[in-house]
Amino acid sequence: MAAAQVGDRVAYERVLADSVVLIRHVARRRGIPADSLDDVVQETLLTVHRVRHTYDPSRSYDAWLAAIAGRRAVDALRRHGRRRREVHDEIALNQQADPDDASTASEQMQQARRLRAAIAELPPRQREAVERLGLEEQSLADAAAHTGHNTGALKVSLHRALKALRARLHGES
């Protein structure tokens, strides 16, 4: 790479060709599927071409290249998602409520009434935090402006309120 940096085209072509093996190895270690390896190799070689002036000849070329290849591999994983798989779980499917079922709607209305009653029984600051932050989905800054409480106090009130609601509705502590 040092020779390529000073303009040796043959050295540059050779270093790029020799780099492919290491790039593929790094990409496989990062979990890149076989059908995406060539994309990571190409992206890495383009990055090497773009940033070749940053290579320090007094340091390891392989370490420099592996760092770039690792970043391109992570970018590819982010772009394509981490191995999206659909899972078929017969039990979960059978337990899923039918939204058109009248008994399900009745159950949901009953749960909503229980939740509203539990919220109404909270101390005023906790109730206010739940209403502003949870139900109205206000930001902490907006809720603080409306309530006159600082954001830290709102967070504490919300935390305590949620803990109390869990205990009341689900019997958790």
Q: How many domains does the chain have?
A: 2
Let me know whether 106 and 74 are in one domain.
no
Residue ranges of alpha helices (H) inside the chain are 2-5, 9-29, 37-51, 61-80, 90-95, 102-120, 124-129, 140-147, 151-170
Residue 84 has what pLDDT?
54
Dihedral angle, C-alpha 37, 39, 41, 46, nearest 10 °: -170
Angle of CA points 166, 172, 173, to nearest 5°: 100
How many percent of the chain have pLDDT more than 70?
85
Same domain, 6 and 75: yes
Question: Residue 120: which CATH number?
Answer: 1.10.10.10
Residues 17 and 71 in one domain: yes
pTM score > 0.85 for this model?
A: no
* CATH code of the domain in which 21 resides: 1.10.1740.10
Under the banding of pLDDT at 50, 70 and 90, the label for residue 101 is: low
- Give the pLDDT confidence of 51-81 residue by residue, as tens digits: 999 999 999 999 999 999 999 999 998 887 6
pLDDT of residue 90: 66
Count of CA atoms in the C-beta half-sphere (13 A) of 164: 18
Q: Could you tell me if residue 49 is inside a domain?
A: yes
Full domain range(s) for residue 156 = 97-170
Nearest CA among 95, 93, 79 for reference residue 32: 79
Residue 90 lies in a domain: no
d(CA 103, CA 113): 15
Q: What is the pLDDT of residue 173?
A: 47
71/65 Cα distance (integer angstroms):
10
128-167 per-position pLDDT tens digit: 999 998 888 888 888 899 899 999 999 999 999 999 999 8
Residue 93 CA from chain centroid, whole number: 26
